[in-house]
Amino acid sequence: MNTRALPEDLSPVTAIPILRDHRWLELTSAANQAFKDGAVEPARRLYTRAVEEAERLFETRNPKDTAVPLPAIMNIACHNLAQLAAQDGNEPECRRLLILAFDRLINAARQPSTPIELRIACVQHLKYTLSELAGHLAQQFEPEPSIEHYTDRLREAVAAVSHAAAHVGQADDPRRCGHCRLTN
């Protein structure tokens, strides 16, 4: 971490800086332990709160000062809760959560106002998101939309992020390439 931590930002036990994702980490750890102990309903409540915390963190679009990358936080939070929904036989809820993770990452990757390092991280983590979603859709009879819908969106996002990364230092306006007609 490049910034100097103030005493109130330090853990009293370890004297190391408390990162922005500490609450999400605590919720996820407690939910994992509850699940391991067979306490499914407490685990579900904790995983739900972890998704809410992941959403709060992800909305900041600030990839700094977290122990876990923001796209991974969103993926893990949604996938944990989706797994519980699938175990309960609640396929619509499982699908909703898998699509939520996909949509959050793809939308951040496509958004020119998202910092380029976060856009790149989102694209990198979309392989996990898409893999989980594809596995779920493969179990459905003629899912709508089909997996091709999601792979097309991923291809478009990869192209946009690749273009933005290649031209980020070459244009006066980082949303528009200085030497071609493409916009990010």
Quickly state the pLDDT bin for 4 (edges 50, 70, 90). very low
pLDDT at 112 over 60: yes
**Domain extent listing, the chain:** 21-172
Is pLDDT at 126 greater than 80 in this prediction?
yes
Confidence of residue 169 (pLDDT cuts 50, 70, 90): low
pLDDT band of residue 144 (cuts 50, 70, 90) is: confident
On the question of pLDDT at 47 being above 50, the answer is yes
- Predicted local distance difference test score (pLDDT) of residue 71: 96
Peptide bond connecting 145 to the previous residue in cis, omega within 30 degrees of 0 = yes
Q: Distance between CA atoms of 53 and 23, rounded to whole angstroms? A: 7
Q: Give the model's pLDDT for residue 14.
A: 54
- Reduce the DSSP state of residue 51 to 3 states and report it: helix
Give the CATH class of 21-172.
mainly alpha
Contact between 105 and 54 under an 8 Å Cβ cutoff? The reply is no
What is residue 5's predicted lDDT score, i.e. its pLDDT? 42
Which residue, among 147, 102, 104, has the nearest Cα to 126 in the 3D structure?
A: 102
Question: Which residues 6+ apart lie within 8 Å of 9 measured at CB?
Answer: 17, 18
Poorest-confidence range of 66-70, 83-87, 100-104, 166-170?
166-170
Q: Which residues pair with 10 in a beta bridge?
A: 17
CB atoms within 10 A of CB 34: 18
